[in-house]
Amino acid sequence: MKLKLYLVFLFGIIAISHSQNKFDTETVSLSERWNLIKPGDKKQLFKFEPYKPVYILFANYTNNINLQPTSENPNNTVPFPLDLNPVELKFQLSFKTKILQNVFGEKTGGDFWIGYTQSSRWQIYNAKQSRPFRETNYEPEMIFILPTKYKLFGLNGVYTGVALTHQSNGRANPLSRSWNRVIFHVGLEAQNWSVIFKPWIRISEDLAEDDNPNIENYIGRAELLVAYKHNRHQVSFRGRHSLNGGDNNRGSVQFDYAAQLYNNLKIYTQFFHGYGESLIDFNHKQTTIGIGLSLVNWM
């Protein structure tokens, strides 16, 4: 039953978020992604739109599976090793919808969005442990986007924004992980290129209730995304960093490649190295590589 519910949810959200959108050999700009081309069009309200990539990796391999998740909070340290397989299935769903537009008038703009992203890591090949879901991260967001017009290093400034974001894995102690952030957005683009810079500030919690103290020293305090598309091929780089030196000089890099197979269906590969591949792995360093299919990418 659990498997059926997840599959129905997966394909249902993909169908909704993908409907009435262009995802073929055309490049979909940031301006189009955030409905900044026709800012006065009321038909853009309360419609599912693509947000982050939607994909499934049928085989995602890690060189260092996190058998015993730890935290600086002793209540969130697993007391014994888990029996996990280094190869698992991973999928991600993501969509957004605009709920309010042109809050500063049609000339200046300003839109409020609600976004949601969910990524799951499923031990589908671990028959010994009844194929459990190892980790699922849930990330609802409230986002404000303001259009901009300027040039920087040959790129066109598209928008600035700010988001209130909650991310958690919905687990009980000792596996519980969560944090809240205020994330600032800067989006730029040029022909076939998109660049998104997102620094953030963590909303502090009481130390006794903090599932993952100092998570920002591992996952980071800022993210840079660079995406490029040429004909049927898309590549992207995502880097995160703690913005600290010394022992807290940590972060991660991720490279994604998608090649169109048919219409919106693409073969998809993902490479990750560093900390924070998921919330349960926020302070765990590993290298992963996966292959599968995608329907929605950054461009």
The backbone torsions φ and ψ at residue 244, rounded to the nearest 5 degrees and listed phi first, read -125, 160
pLDDT of residue 207: 86
Beta bridge partners of 168: 138, 178
pLDDT of residue 21: 44
pLDDT mean values, one per 10 residues, the chain (299 residues): 46 44 64 84 85 98 98 96 98 97 92 98 97 98 97 95 98 97 98 96 92 97 97 97 95 98 96 98 98 96
Q: How far is CA 95 from CA 10, 24, 296, in A?
A: 12, 18, 10
The backbone torsions φ and ψ at residue 121, rounded to the nearest 5 degrees and listed phi first, read -120, 115
The whole-angstrom separation of Cα 233 and Cα 128 is: 39
- Catalytic (active-site) positions: 166, 168
How far does Cα 94 stand from its chain's mean position?
Answer: 8
The backbone torsions φ and ψ at residue 5, rounded to the nearest 5 degrees and listed phi first, read -65, -40
The whole-angstrom separation of Cα 102 and Cα 146 is: 9
Within 8 A by CB and 6+ apart from 236, the residues are 225, 226, 227, 228, 255, 256, 297, 298
Q: In which residue are the tokens 């996966």 written?
A: 290
Q: Where are the domains of the chain?
A: 2-296
How far does Cα 136 stand from its chain's mean position?
Answer: 12
pLDDT of residue 11: 47
Question: Sign of torsion, CA 106 152 142 295?
Answer: positive
CATH for 2-296?
2.40.230.10
What is the CB neighbour count within 10 angstroms for residue 208? Answer: 7
Whether pTM > 0.75 for this model: the answer is yes
pLDDT of residue 17: 40
pLDDT of residue 27: 74
Q: How far is CA 181 from CA 52, 58, 91, in A?
A: 18, 31, 23
Within 8 A by CB and 6+ apart from 8, the residues are none
pLDDT of residue 299: 87
